[in-house]
Structure 1
Amino acid sequence: MSEVAGDLGTGRASVGAVLDFAWDAGVFTATDAMAQTSLTRSTAIEAIDTLVSLGVLHELPNAREAGSYRSGRPARRFTLASDLGVVVGMDAGDTHLAVTVADPLERTLVHHRTDLDPTHSPDERRAVILAQLQQALDEAGASPDAVLAICVGVAAPVNRDGVSPPHPLGFWERTNPQLAHALTGLAPVVEVKNDALLAAVAEGSDPRGAAIGCRDYVALLAGERFGGGVVVDGQLLHGAHGGVGEGVVFDHIIGVGSAFGLGPALQTRVREALAEGEIPAEGPTGQLAAARRIDPRAVLDLAASGDPDAALVVDRVGRTLARIVGVLGSMYDPAKVIICGAVAESIEPVLAAARGILPAQLHLPAPELVASALGAEVVSLGAVATARRAARERAVPQRAVQRLAAR
C-alpha cells in the first residue's frame, strides 16, 4: 500500500488498504474487502463509503437489482471507478516512436507506432514526441486532466530524475531531449526510463513474459544496439546515472568489440564471410550482400531452412552472443538472459549456436538463454506497466487526497 493511500480519510490506513485491494478485486463486497484487509465490517464499510464519495469506487446494483438475488439481504457491490483516467506509455527509440494510451487496469485505448528521423535535433525530436502524444490523447478522447501517469522509454541511461548523462557524440542527449522537463505538468507522475529497464519490467509482469516467477534475469535488447535491463533478487538495478546494463562495455570485450546488436552483427558477418571467400557470392546467403542493407531475418530464415552459408554466419554470431551472455552471467549471475526486441521472434538459430558454447564462457552455472515472446512492443509494454503502477501507487491516491481536502 502506498504512503499516500494510507493518508486518506484523515490518516486512516483502512481507506488506503481498501483502495489497494480494489485494484485487483474486480467486483467485490464489503465481506470480500474484510477478508483481504483484516478490517472489521464497520471499518471496511466506512472506508468503502469514503472512496465511493470521492469517486474512486463505484457502487454497482446489488444482487436483487442485478437479477441474481436468491434470499436474505442483498449485498452491496463495488468496483474501481472506470473513469479514473488514463495512463500513457511511450517507447522513444532511436528511429521509432510508439505511443500507447491505456486505462489504469488492462485495456489499451490507442496505440500508434511511427518512424523517427535519427538526424533530427533534440528540439525537433522533442516536438515530434509531444505532438504524437497529443494526437494519441485526442484519439483516445482523454482530456488533459485525465492523464494519471506517463512513462517514456529512451535509448540512453537515465538517472532517477529522468535526466541522461552527456554522451561523447551527443547521442544520449538527442534520444532523451529533456523529456522529463518537457512532460512535467502533463500528468501527476512523469517518469523517463532506460528502454532496456522497461523491457525487463515487461518480461517480469506481462503474462507472456519470459521472466514470470523469476527473481534474477537480464532482459537484453539486442536489435540495433545491446542494452540490458537487470533484475537481481527481484529488484531492478539502476545505478547512480541509470547506467546498469549499458552496452558500451561490449566495445571493450575481446570477441565482441562493439555495442551494436545482433541485427548489425549478422549483416557484418555475411559481408566478412563473403569478402574472405568463405561463402560464394552466387549462393542464397551471398546474394543477400548485393543489397545495401542485409535483412537479418532473411539470414536467420536461411539458417533455419538448412542453408550452410547462413549456418556459418549464424554460428559466428552465436559465438559473439555467448561471449556477451558470459559477461552478463559473470557480472550479475542471472538465472535467465532474455533476448528482446523485434529480432527475438526469429533469433532461435543464433541462440542454439550460443547455447552450445555458453557454459565455457563463465565459471558459474550458465544462465538459461531464451527469446522473448513480446516482440517489438516489449518496451511499450514495460512503459505502460510502469505508468499503471505509478497511477495505482501515487496518482490515484494523490487525487483522492486532493478531493477529500477540497470538501
Structure 2
Amino acid sequence: MTEQVTTGTDVTRMRELNALSIVRALRGGPPSTVTEVAARTGLSRPGTDVIVQGLVADGWLTVVEPDGSSVVGRPARRYRFNAGAGHVVGVDVGVHKVLAMLADLDGTVVRTARLPVDPGADPAARLTVVDAAVDECLAGAGLRPDDVWAITVGVTGPVDAGGRTTLFTPLPGWASVSPAGHLAARFSCPIQVENDCKLAALAERWQGAARDADDIVYVLAGMRCGAGLIIDGALRRGHGGAAGEIGALRAVRWLTAPSHLENCAGLPAGIDTDDAAAWVFNAARAGDKAARTAVRRYTRDLAVGTAALVLTLDPQVVVLGGGFSRSADLILDQLARELGRTCLRVPEIRASTLGDESVALGALRLALDEVDARLFGVSLPAPLAPRA
C-alpha cells in the first residue's frame, strides 16, 4: 500500500477552494456570522474563522459591526461580500442614444449615463459619445479606468468572433469598427462585444420578465425586429454569432412589418418615423379603425418569425421586448392567437419589464459572468482588476 503524501501545493489549493466557497456563500446574500458561513459551506468553524479573517485582510469581505441592539451577551460580528472591490461597465450603443451603466460586483447599478447621438453619426463621432458616457459614469462614482474589471458593449447586428458587426448593422460605417479595440486603449480589463437582442435576453432572465425560465425567446418588437435565444440557461450565439437572425429570411416578414405602422391611414403629414408608431398605437387605443388594422397587421407579421422560433426551440417563455413592449396591451393577446394557429404548443408570452435599459443591463450581466469566470472559477487573489 502506497502512502499518499500531502504537499504544500495541495494545502494551498485547498485553502483557495475553501476561500472560494466562502466568498460564493456570502456573495449576493445578507451579512452572516462565521458560524452561519461554516454551516452554509460545510467547513469547520475554526477553519472558517481563519479564512474569513484572511479574506477581510485581502479586501474580499467587509466587517459589519454589531449595532448594539442585543441585550444578551456580545453580538457576533457579521461579514459581507465586498461588492465594491471592483466594478463592471455595460454599454448600449444604439442608433439614437448611448447608454452606459456602472455596477459593483453584486450587479447593483451605481451610475448611469444616457447621451443622445445623431443617427447618421460616423463611427468616430459615435465612439466619442461612448467615451463620454463611460467617463460620466466613472467620474460620478469617483473611479478610474483601472477600477473597472470588465466591459461589455452591446451593438446592433450579429457580432462575429472579432467583435465586429461585419454581416449587418444599421449604424453607419460600423461594420469596420472594433469597439473593443477602441476601449482597449484606455482599459486593460477584458472587453466583450455582443448583439443587443442577445444581451436583452440575458437581462430579462437576470432581472426581468423571465427570471423563472431557462428556455427563452426574446423578441425585439420595434421599427426593427430581432431575437435573442437562451436555451438550457445559456445564451446561444451560433457558430458565427448570427443565431436568432431569422428576420433575414424575407418570407418571415420581419423586414417589412414596420411598414404597416409607417403607412397607416390618417398619420399626420410630416410625422417622424419614430413618432409614427407611437401615434398609431395611441390611435388604436382610442378605437381608430385604421390604426387598429395597422397594429393587427404588424403583429401578424411579427408572429411569423416568432412562430418559427417557437416551433424550433419550444421555449418556456417568449418575452416581447423593444420599444413596442410599451404597447403590449395591444400586441400580446393577438400574438398569442396568431401563434396558436401554427404552433404545437404556445408558450407563455410576457412583456419586458426592463424597457430600453435591457441591453445595458444584459451587458452588465455578461461582464459579471466574465469576472466570475476569470476570478471565482480558478483562484481568489487579492482584488485587483483582471487583465485581458
Q: Kindly indicate whether residue 29 of structure 2 is the aligned counterpart of residue 37 of structure 1.
A: no
Deviations 1:358-399 (A, max 9, x none): 22223x212333321211111122122333343445357889
Match of 1:311 among 289, 292, 309: 292
User: What CA distance in whole angstroms lies between the structure 1 residues aligned with 2:128 and 2:11?
Assistant: 38
User: What CA distance in whole angstroms lies between the structure 2 residues aligned with 1:140 and 1:320?
Assistant: 45
How far 1:48 sits from its partner (Å)? 0.8
User: What CA distance in whole angstroms lies between the structure 2 residues aligned with 1:142 and 1:403?
Assistant: 15
How far 1:342 sits from its partner (Å)? 2.3
Aligned to 1:110: 111
Aligned to 1:91: 92
Aligned to 2:360: 380
How far 1:9 sits from its partner (Å)? 5.5
Conserved? CA contact 2:119–2:171, under 8 Å: no
Match of 1:401 among 370, 381, 386: 381
Matched residues, percent identical? 30
**Match runs of 1:120-135 below 5 Å:** 120-135=121-136
Aligned to 2:351: 371
Aligned to 2:262: 268
Determine helix, strand or coil for the equivalent of 2:210. coil
Conserved? CA contact 1:98–1:113, under 8 Å: yes
**Match runs of 1:347-366 below 5 Å:** 347-362=328-343, 364-366=344-346
Deviations 1:111-145 (A, max 9, x none): 12122233333333223312321232112211222
Q: Kindly indicate whether residue 327 of structure 2 is the aligned counterpart of residue 346 of structure 1.
A: yes
Deviations 1:211-231 (A, max 9, x none): 121121111122232221101
Aligned partner of 2:123: which letter?
Answer: P
Aligned to 1:23: 27
Aligned to 1:164: 164
**Match runs of 1:119-158 below 5 Å:** 119-158=120-159
TM-score normalised by L of structure 1:
0.82
**Superposed CA RMSD:** 2.8
Aligned partner of 1:217: which letter?
Answer: I
Conserved? CA contact 1:344–1:371, under 8 Å: yes
Conserved? CA contact 1:223–1:343, under 8 Å: yes
Change (3 A) 1:170 1:372: closer
Aligned partner of 1:15: which letter?
Answer: A
User: What CA distance in whole angstroms lies between the structure 1 residues aligned with 2:61 and 2:301?
Assistant: 53
- How many residues align structurally? 372
Determine helix, strand or coil for the equivalent of 1:401. coil
Moved over 4 A (4+): 7-11, 168-173, 395-400
Change (3 A) 1:343 1:9: farther
Unmatched segments (≥5 aa) in structure 1: 1-6, 275-285
User: What CA distance in whole angstroms lies between the structure 1 residues aligned with 2:201 and 2:315?
Assistant: 12
Unmatched segments (≥5 aa) in structure 2: 1-9
* Range 389-398 or range 142-151, more displaced: 389-398
Aligned partner of 1:158: which letter?
Answer: V
Match of 1:321 among 302, 309, 314: 302
Conserved? CA contact 1:86–1:142, under 8 Å: no
Change (3 A) 1:169 1:268: same
